[in-house]
Chains A and B, each alone.
Chain A
Amino acid sequence: DAGITQSPRYKITETGRQVTLMCHQTWSHSYMFWYRQDLGHGLRLIYYSAAADITDKGEVPDGYVVSRSKTENFPLTLESATRSQTSVYFCASSATSGSSDTQYFGPGTRLTVL
């Protein structure tokens, strides 16, 4: 299916485990973004990428790692999950700069860290 997809949609893990959230888009958009959304904080940017092999930190990058070896994929890894990383994670993409073009969101991954 065309669009932007995320997997898994739901994940429960334990403190200290490594978790990777996947994001795939079929539009060949240059820009991709990872957000977390928590009550009281709204959407907060974790990392973003302007193109393959170009990534940069957002507002809350600590404890997360990203890579972008291919334009269509932008995985987010929690190297050692903590309870504070329990959240809903959204991936988004845009055709050009995120500030001048619309960001389109994936369906989200609900992550629970026990």
Chain B
Amino acid sequence: EDKVVQSPLSLVVHEGDTVTLNCSYEVTNFRSLLWYKQEKKAPTFLFMLTSSGIEKKSGRLSSILDKKELFSILNITATQTGDSAIYLCAVGSNSNYQLIWGAGTKLIIKP
């Protein structure tokens, strides 16, 4: 059965710290891995990764995919209180139209 596992489930750090969120997957016919940020509303898209070893970067956020070891990481440097959110990882396959979602990592940034 296809699955996506995120770790840790929750994380509390202080402003200015760097955090690394993990997403591992077992998905048949992998096609893409997506990261979303969810504050007190709908998930918003961050990154889509399809190729191993190519870092995607947006400001203080970056992500990379390892298709051999079947995982991705999302890094946030110099964290700010506005980074507090649930970070969701989802994986798509060529087998169907659906995304398989992880349970999310709840990140809390303390001032």
Task: List the A residue with the shortest CB-CB distance to B103.
Answer: A42
Contacts of A107 in B (CB 8 A): 41-42
A42 touches B92 (CB 8 A): no
Not counting A40-B103, A99-B98, a sample of 17 additional A-B residue pairs whose C-beta atoms are within 8 angstroms of each other reads A41-B103, A42-B104, A43-B43, A43-B88, A45-B98, A56-B97, A90-B42, A98-B97, A99-B92, A99-B93, A100-B32, A102-B34, A102-B45, A103-B45, A105-B42, A105-B43, A107-B42
B97 touches A50 (CB 8 A): yes
**14 intermolecular pairs with C-beta atoms under 8 Å apart:** A31-B97, A42-B101, A42-B102, A42-B104, A50-B97, A58-B98, A97-B92, A97-B97, A98-B92, A99-B98, A100-B32, A100-B92, A105-B43, A105-B44
Please list the residues of chain B having a beta carbon within 8 angstroms of any beta carbon in chain A: 31-32, 34, 41-45, 48, 88, 90, 92-94, 96-99, 101-104
How many angstroms between the C-alpha atoms of A97 and B88 in the bound complex? 19
Contacts of B103 in A (CB 8 A): 40-42
Please list the residues of chain A having a beta carbon within 8 angstroms of any beta carbon in chain B: 31, 40-45, 48, 50, 56, 58, 90, 97-100, 102-108
A-B contact count (CB 8 A): 55
Contacts of A106 in B (CB 8 A): 42
How many angstroms between the C-alpha atoms of A55 and B102 in the bound complex? 24
Q: Looking at the complex, which one of A40, A90, A99 makes contact with B99 (CB distance below 8 Å)?
A: A99
